[in-house]
Copies of this chain bind each other. A is one copy, B any other.
Amino acid sequence: MNFCSHCGHTVRLAIPQGDDRPRFLCDECETIHYQNPRIVAGTLTVSGTRVLLCRRAISPRKGYWTLPAGFMENGETTAEAAARETREEACAETRLHGLYTLINLPHINQVFMIFRADLEGSFAPGPESLEVGLFEEHEIPWEELAFPTIERTLWHFYADRKQGEFPLHMSDIVPDRERQSGAG
């Protein structure tokens, strides 16, 4: 950030009075520009015993396989964001169940949230996908998954499916540490 988005003046990075961390400040109009983490929402959509995966047509990780997911937009709920991303990337309608994984990624200022869902009807690649398919467990391209969040979510799913219960899994992924956060 170089300029104030409100008045166009240059900004500087400094700790505001009463605060404890640096923010971009505008000395002209006195706006404090806060920056906050973003939510990435998506689905683990199943049809029978198979899981819906999309092969990415865009960077980052173009050509690798992912669960349909993307940045939550203003004006929607987390569940609406997850369903919309599945519609956009896989042209698929879904019936959503509960929140299944919540993974904090503090080094990139993201919170990743995946809902379990049932596929309703057909699917096809959206503009951000090269192809979309349904995979049995032994068909999952583990070495070609796009992100650690996807691998972890699928790993939980196949472990939980043996028990027939799918509780929320909360955890963190950071480059130099890996922690379970306070959640059952």
Complex interface: stretch among A31-39, A59-67, A131-139, A141-149: A31-39
Q: Does A121 contact B (CB under 8 A)?
A: no
Q: Does A106 contact B (CB under 8 A)?
A: yes
Q: Does A152 contact B (CB under 8 A)?
A: no
A181 to B72, CA, bound (A): 15
Query: By the criterion CB–CB under 8 Å, are A5 and B33 in contact?
Result: yes
A6 smallest CB distance to B (angstroms) = 6
Q: Does A127 contact B (CB under 8 A)?
A: yes
Query: By the criterion CB–CB under 8 Å, are A75 and B1 in contact?
Result: no
B-side contacts of A172, CB under 8 Å: 77
Q: Does A18 contact B (CB under 8 A)?
A: yes
A10 to B183, CA, bound (A): 45
Q: Does A115 contact B (CB under 8 A)?
A: yes
- A97-131 vs B, CB cutoff 8 Å, 1 = contact: the mask equals 11100101011010100010000000000010000
Q: Does A4 contact B (CB under 8 A)?
A: yes
Give the residue name and chain of the B residue nearest to A182 (CB): B96
B-side contacts of A170, CB under 8 Å: 78-79, 98-99
Query: By the criterion CB–CB under 8 Å, are A77 and B104 in contact?
Result: yes
Q: Given the interface contacts A6-B2, A8-B3, A79-B182, does A18 sit within 8 Å of B99 by beta carbon?
A: no
12 A-B pairs with C-beta separation under 8 A: A1-B5, A2-B5, A3-B3, A3-B4, A8-B8, A36-B39, A37-B76, A74-B109, A75-B107, A79-B183, A97-B182, A115-B182
